[in-house]
Structure 1
Amino acid sequence: MKFQNPLRPFSHPLLATVCLVGFSVIGIGWVPLAADETVRTSSSAERGYRFLTEHPVLTSDFSQDTFDQVWQSWPEPLRRQAETATLQERRAMAFERYGLTTRPDDDSGKPLQYVVDDDGTWTMNCFSCHGGSVYGKSTPGAPNNRFALQTMTEEIRSTKFKLGRPFSRMDMGALFIPLGTTHGTTNAVVFGMGLMSSRDADLNVVNTPPTSFTHHDMDAPPWWTFHKRPYLYIDGFAEKGHRGLMQFTLIPENGPEFYRENENAFRDVYDYLASLRPPKYEGEVNVDLAEQGRVVFNQTCAECHGTYDRQFGGDDWTYPNRRIPINDIGTDPVRLKALSVEGRKKYASSWFANVGQDDQQDTIVAPDGYVAPPLDGIWASPPYFHNGSVPTLWHVLHPTQRPQVWRRISEAIDDAKMGFSIEVVDKVPLTHPDVAVRRTYFDTRRFGKSNQGHDYPDLLSEDEKNAVLEYLKTL
């Protein structure tokens, strides 16, 4: 699973693919803001959202016209169905196929996941991974667990070839680097490492020898936990800051001056991420059972995941930001090992980790495990584990019953198991004629996709597990 780094000739703006993968965030406890600070933060957060959706910080991917003709590269019978459809119906089909959503409270029809300018040019943004749907409802900040970047890139490239249009770096780079082997996951970390390897500490482009990276898929975390944790990434190696949010814009076209000129805009983006909170569960909750689950949770889970008692009328929460050694947590180790100490040190010495006035941020260059995340809105952000290998919270709580090969079959929530509605199969149907269908299956036997580990729920009785599951709905 190691390949030479082709990012020098084909460096692509994978901000949307990579941006903030693993990013999560601050503090312990809750402190009310002063009125003027609330207004300032609200205003800057609004600017941050507009910046992400309206300001391209990467080179463009394709035109509206190319997107509107991508159906010509679809397999039958889907292509025949699109041929007789209206333009709007074709666009809806393409959104469905590629995991795109429209923007909430916006009738423009533009995708949340791309900046689309007045000329119809599409440029990926951070929402491609961090803006999906919560069981069918478009939700900025939710993991895009349906994003089909590899499939879309292949079919856009094929369409461009038919139309005689030039390829983008994404089109070319995807020939050499896997963008995500399962829909909803991304090989984002590798792009971050590759883009960083070709810069010096001041972000000047430098010549570096070819580098090999370990390709692996990741599941994007929800942004609504950003306000809690002090460090970025699943292993918590980089202290949080607005500069760190800019790392994945390191395309050759963006020189050092780009980062100075756009730093204030990313302060706004930071405020936007910090303003997000999870949606509330709208189904029925057995309050008595949930209260039993809260007690069990606080006795057995809060040590790592924190407390959430404000959901029951209190004002306080805690988050320990605790890193669990890999030999203890037992989840897939590929992500932890994929980032080298040298690469982490390079980040630590760069402009991204120096927040100004010689104030160097803390960087953990040799983390020994993964940080237990906050569980705010956990019911709304399947699949679970950092690689997206577990489809429901019920399966998280029942380690021995996690399926080996599964796929999502509906947008609707599985209210009993809290997560995806799935089917379990023996193997991926590799002979299926539509590659997009094949990529909807998650095979936990593949490299980097293990669903093992986090066996702590085995210490609970079945009644305790049911109570905890009910309690998780309230977070």
Structure 2
Amino acid sequence: MIRFTNTALLLGLAALILAACGDATPPGTDPDRFTIAEPGPIPVTDQRPGDPAAGRYTVLNRGYVTCGIPDAAFRASNVFPTREHELNGREGRNAELPYMFNATVNPDGVELVVSNCLTCHASEVEGELVIGLGNAFLDWTNDPSVTAELIGAFVEDGAPADAWAKWADRIAAIAPYMVTDTFGVNPAPNLTLALIAHRDAETLAWSSEPRLGPPPREPLPTKVPPWWRMQHKAAMFHNGMGRGDHVRYMMMKSLVCTDDTDEASEIAEWFTDVRAYIASLEPPPYPYPVDPELAAEGEGVFARVCAGCHGSYGDERDYPNLLIDLDTVGTDPAYARQAVESERFARWFNRSFYGDGAEAMPALGYMAPPLDGVWATAPYLHNASVPTIEALLDSARRPTYWQLRTDPRQYDPDTLGWRFNVLESGKAEADDPTGAKRIYDTTRPGYGNQGHRFGDTLGERERQALLEYLKTL
């Protein structure tokens, strides 16, 4: 029996494609431009107005990823989960599908099931599905092309076979670049680069052979930021990239299938509303008791230690949108450095359809994000290397080897994170390969849990007060 984590990996592909991009494009600028951004405040760009209700409809019902599995094969293969959560506003066949799939019909009249954004941008807290919360429990450690080929056995000849072949061929081309070595981390940046490598920047035409040198085969780990922060962020991604027109980045989740600029233009119109929907979301309220006196004490600690980078959250809210250099923040530098070193992909983006109104501008640093709803967004740091806020505020508590508990997953209101097991050894000492995949090993390149040690100067009472205050954001 194929595990659901395999199918989530496979079909969440397009929903996880995130572009690495930067500032708004000045008229007349060299289309082959490449600039490395400097640390400091990230400029705020006015975004397109849109209809949040229409955007929600698109996320839940439209086939903005335009290739996928013929619906008959989806039903017959019996490898997919049953529907567990009902979402208001799902229509027709969509209402019958698990929340991470949408139904659509391709130009040949083939009914398809395709991935949507919620594979990675929705997750459970206390049994409730929270739209916009990054899913820290997805498993990207398996080769998705195996599942794609299995589904092919249930596909009818003719137009359904052609539809399946388009989707399966894309999966096979990029599968080597999307398999992580650790459960729960996300390969989205590497996926984006792999897709870019196969596309013509001017026409978006797909090539079975890479046009650019592909990215590394071992994706660096990233975590999925929560959607509700987008209303306060000048840049979408951890390293300060994703500035300018946010629509151009959000719609790149369809890049696995979008083969020409006419189709991309139509999807861009839909995603003007999707961006408005994402920017309308609010974080879930903390679901457990809060000590108001201790939280008030923690607010003072936050103002003294945290607000300079992360902003203030009283009646007059302020979001600095600061890009912090690597030496200052001290966190694992591999992700930021790789984006800077991957110049060929930034140049591709800047001269492509997606660079109209945006510019790929990587930086040697990381963005201090807004902290609205931070209690729900474990694990922490850009690479998900720190399991709880308690450990984030006290580096001595950070485990070198650890694994999330999944059966069942449980939230710990004392440490503000998912419960986890501390391990004595890393992947190299694991008894079997499957078990090794469940180990977060901070000694591996890109997986380091160093840096962000600003909480180390606090006393234990101050940390506890700060933890209590963070529950209220």
Normalised by the length of structure 1, the TM-score is 0.77
What is aligned with 2:62? 55
What is aligned with 1:282? 287
What is aligned with 2:443? 445
In the alignment, structure 1 residue 115 sits paired with structure 2 residue 102: yes
Q: Distance in 2 between matches of 1:67 and 1:344?
A: 36
Q: Which stretch shifts more, 453-462 or 212-221?
A: 212-221
Answer whether contact 2:77 2:154 (CA < 8 A) is retained.
Answer: no
Q: Distance in 1 between matches of 2:111 and 2:81?
A: 14
* Counterpart AA for 2:386: V
What is aligned with 1:189? 189
**Deviation at residue 201 of structure 1 after TM alignment:** 5.2
* Counterpart AA for 2:375: W
Q: Distance in 2 between matches of 1:16 and 1:124?
A: 6
Answer whether contact 1:236 1:371 (CA < 8 A) is retained.
Answer: yes
What is aligned with 1:307? 312
Q: 1:255 to 1:348 in 2, by over 3 A?
A: same
Q: 1:338 to 1:441 in 2, by over 3 A?
A: same
What is aligned with 2:34? none
Q: 1:66 to 1:389 in 2, by over 3 A?
A: farther
Q: Distance in 2 between matches of 1:109 and 1:182?
A: 32
Taking the TM superposition and a 5 Å limit, the aligned residue runs for 1:348-363 are 348-355=350-357, 361=358, 363=359
What is aligned with 2:381? 385
Q: Which residue, 378, 387, 390 being the options, matches 1:394?
A: 390
Answer whether contact 1:389 1:442 (CA < 8 A) is retained.
Answer: yes
Equivalenced residues, count: 415
* Counterpart AA for 2:254: T
**Deviation at residue 14 of structure 1 after TM alignment:** 3.5
**Deviation at residue 123 of structure 1 after TM alignment:** 1.0
Q: Secondary structure at the match of 2:440?
A: strand
In the alignment, structure 1 residue 327 sits paired with structure 2 residue 327: yes
Q: Distance in 2 between matches of 1:297 and 1:28?
A: 24
**Deviation at residue 69 of structure 1 after TM alignment:** 6.8
Answer whether contact 2:206 2:259 (CA < 8 A) is retained.
Answer: no
**Deviation at residue 106 of structure 1 after TM alignment:** 6.7
Q: 1:13 to 1:375 in 2, by over 3 A?
A: closer
Taking the TM superposition and a 5 Å limit, the aligned residue runs for 1:103-182 are 103-105=86-88, 108-117=95-104, 121-151=112-142, 153=144, 156-157=147-148, 159-160=150-151, 168-169=168-169, 171-173=171-173, 175-182=175-182
Q: Deviations over 1:327-381 (max 9, x none)?
A: 11111111111222443344334332323xxxxx4x4635120011111100011
Normalised by the length of structure 2, the TM-score is 0.77
Q: 1:150 to 1:170 in 2, by over 3 A?
A: farther
What is aligned with 2:299? 294
Structure 1's unaligned 5+ residue stretches are: 1-11, 30-36, 73-89, 96-100, 356-360
What is aligned with 1:403? 399
**Deviation at residue 222 of structure 1 after TM alignment:** 0.5
Q: Distance in 1 between matches of 2:464 and 2:224?
A: 27
Q: 1:231 to 1:338 in 2, by over 3 A?
A: same
Q: Which residue, 45, 52, 64 being the options, matches 1:45?
A: 52
Q: Distance in 2 between matches of 1:155 and 1:196?
A: 23
Q: Secondary structure at the match of 1:344?
A: helix
Superposition CA RMSD, Å:
3.4
Q: Secondary structure at the match of 1:260?
A: helix
Q: Deviations over 1:215-238 (max 9, x none)?
A: 312111100100001122111133
What is aligned with 1:232? 236
Q: Distance in 2 between matches of 1:343 and 1:172?
A: 21
Q: 1:106 to 1:271 in 2, by over 3 A?
A: closer
Q: Distance in 1 between matches of 2:142 and 2:111?
A: 21
Q: Distance in 1 between matches of 2:379 and 2:20?
A: 15
Q: 1:368 to 1:149 in 2, by over 3 A?
A: closer
* Counterpart AA for 2:451: G
Q: Which stretch shifts more, 411-420 or 152-161?
A: 152-161
Answer whether contact 1:13 1:58 (CA < 8 A) is retained.
Answer: no
What is aligned with 1:413? 411
Q: Which residue, 349, 352, 360 being the options, matches 1:347?
A: 349
**Deviation at residue 47 of structure 1 after TM alignment:** 1.3
Structure 2's unaligned 5+ residue stretches are: 1-10, 23-40, 157-163
In the alignment, structure 1 residue 374 sits paired with structure 2 residue 381: no
What is aligned with 2:222? 218
Answer whether contact 1:134 1:381 (CA < 8 A) is retained.
Answer: no
Q: Which stretch shifts more, 127-136 or 260-269?
A: 127-136
Identity of aligned residues (%): 26
Q: Deviations over 1:408-446 (max 9, x none)?
A: 22322101111101111223474458x4x6533322222
Q: 1:403 to 1:162 in 2, by over 3 A?
A: farther
**Deviation at residue 270 of structure 1 after TM alignment:** 0.8
Answer whether contact 1:153 1:170 (CA < 8 A) is retained.
Answer: no
Q: Secondary structure at the match of 1:449?
A: coil
What is aligned with 2:421? 423
* Counterpart AA for 1:104: L
Q: Secondary structure at the match of 1:385?
A: coil
Q: Distance in 1 between matches of 2:383 and 2:293?
A: 33
What is aligned with 1:75? none
* Counterpart AA for 1:160: I
Answer whether contact 1:64 1:121 (CA < 8 A) is retained.
Answer: yes
* Counterpart AA for 1:414: D
Q: Distance in 1 between matches of 2:20 and 2:351?
A: 21
Q: Distance in 2 between matches of 1:198 and 1:162?
A: 27
What is aligned with 1:358? none
Q: 1:297 to 1:203 in 2, by over 3 A?
A: farther
Answer whether contact 1:323 1:369 (CA < 8 A) is retained.
Answer: yes
Q: 1:306 to 1:188 in 2, by over 3 A?
A: same
Answer whether contact 1:13 1:248 (CA < 8 A) is retained.
Answer: no
